[in-house]
Amino acid sequence: MGKEFKCSEANVRRIVKNDLNCYPYNLQKDHLLTEKIKASRLRQCKKLLRLAAAGRNRNVLFSDEKVFTIERVHNHQNDRQLLPKGKTPLVFVEKGVKIDKKYYQDNILKAVVDLWTRAHFGENPWTFQQYWPPAHGAKATMQLCERLFPATWGKDAYPSNSPDLNPLDYSV
């Protein structure tokens, strides 16, 4: 706008703010929730409530994948510690590595998650909740999870399109 009106960027900002009473607003992207998705989320949330009532969610290990850049933008949401029980070590995957079911099972579930949960939870009951890309939902992966972990929430127990339920987005 400054170039178009032949004035400085600072003047444009001042005019927009002081004279036009306009302020910058960052457009938030929201996931479209169709009636089908809403019904699915409600059904899955009710299942979570039943699990909670039965005491099945006292200790939950959440997993997630995240691509991030160190120190690029500071998110104040990350200043909070939501789960004081403990954190697993972060697993860094080299750029360009495809996380298929074999890689996920060998390098993440067996090499990190299984060892950490044995040391952290010991004999205490706990539940595993994972993010659901194809490698996580593969039949062989689910069989491994059933063998290694005492309880694993399936896709039907965790509401779809609910990133707000995963505390990992706020604690890394």
The residue assigned the tokens 């909070």 is 80
Residue 144: left (phi > 0), alpha (psi -120 to 50), or beta? alpha
Residue-wise pLDDT tens digits, 92-139: 888 888 889 999 999 999 999 999 989 888 888 888 887 778 888 889
pLDDT confidence of residue 70: 58
Q: Assess whether pLDDT exceeds 60 at residue 27.
A: no
Average pLDDT, the chain: 75
The helix/strand/coil state of 53 is: helix
Give dist(CA 129, CA 149) in Å, integer: 11
% of the chain beyond a pLDDT of 70? 68
Nearest alpha carbon to residue 64 among 163, 172, 168: 168
pTM of the model: 0.60
The helix or strand, by DSSP H or E, that contains position 103, with its residue range, turns out to be: helix 101-103
